[in-house]
Structure 1
């Protein structure tokens, strides 16, 4: 297995080292809200909630890891997932001592570049006890992201995704 992922970018010519890792600063539904809704909600590095005409919405930030063939470190995305109020409250209540025996059902709440519509894919969120963000598993589907999550991706595809994210 290769130690470190690296590639010469076909867009900028730079050599990028280390497995790609990209994060979203907010769940897409939060970004789509008008300021009056956002002003009564809250967003931080790991938690987000707001109330609109449909009721309360709760989100947490998680990590989804996509294996890269022949590379020791995965391609990582920092994304947001919506949870039910009950799951969100339990997650917050157990923040300091995560309940690693419990997984929370959630909906994927970001549109990933490169992939066709990733919004609202069914997920399970798994807390970690080491202080790391929870990791995400996707429910089985015919979506390309699920196939990549399950089977891994080539170094070439990892480069294509990274270039898409970095250079549009």
Structure 2
């Protein structure tokens, strides 16, 4: 059932692994960035890393944001009521702990919980102490809306922020790179 969701195509990427050495090599070739892209000098060419290229790499939908219909709910229980004992405010660490022990006879509910876990842990790469955004939980109450949401935007923004923070930390150590140019 997870395979039919907006994140289902990741199930087929068995050999997908984070390549830290490639990211490190790219960051060493960092030239500049804007809000929408980062530029790296590879060989004699300046290469642009943008949301469109990120969407091609991840396979996530890349379309304009739309009005959310979070007030419309599917039938059934809310994942917080079932897996988080009614608590709607929790951290990534609490989500991970609850997910590792989650059990339900309701397949749809389990898939929704897996989608939240995948979103927070993989696509957004949240730290254990970070709180889970209530909007994502409410979006899960409308499965169709959740699956149509342009998750590539949030994932790209989180990736860009992480890369820029890495460059900023490095520039403070070596006094050269400027992520805001």
Q: TM-score range by the shorter chain?
A: under 0.3
Q: Compute the TM-score of the two structures, normalised by the length of structure 2.
A: 0.22
Q: Compute the TM-score of the two structures, normalised by the length of structure 1.
A: 0.23
Structure with the bigger percentage of helix: 2
* Larger RCO (CA within 8 A; separation ≥ 6): 2
Structure with the bigger percentage of strand: 1
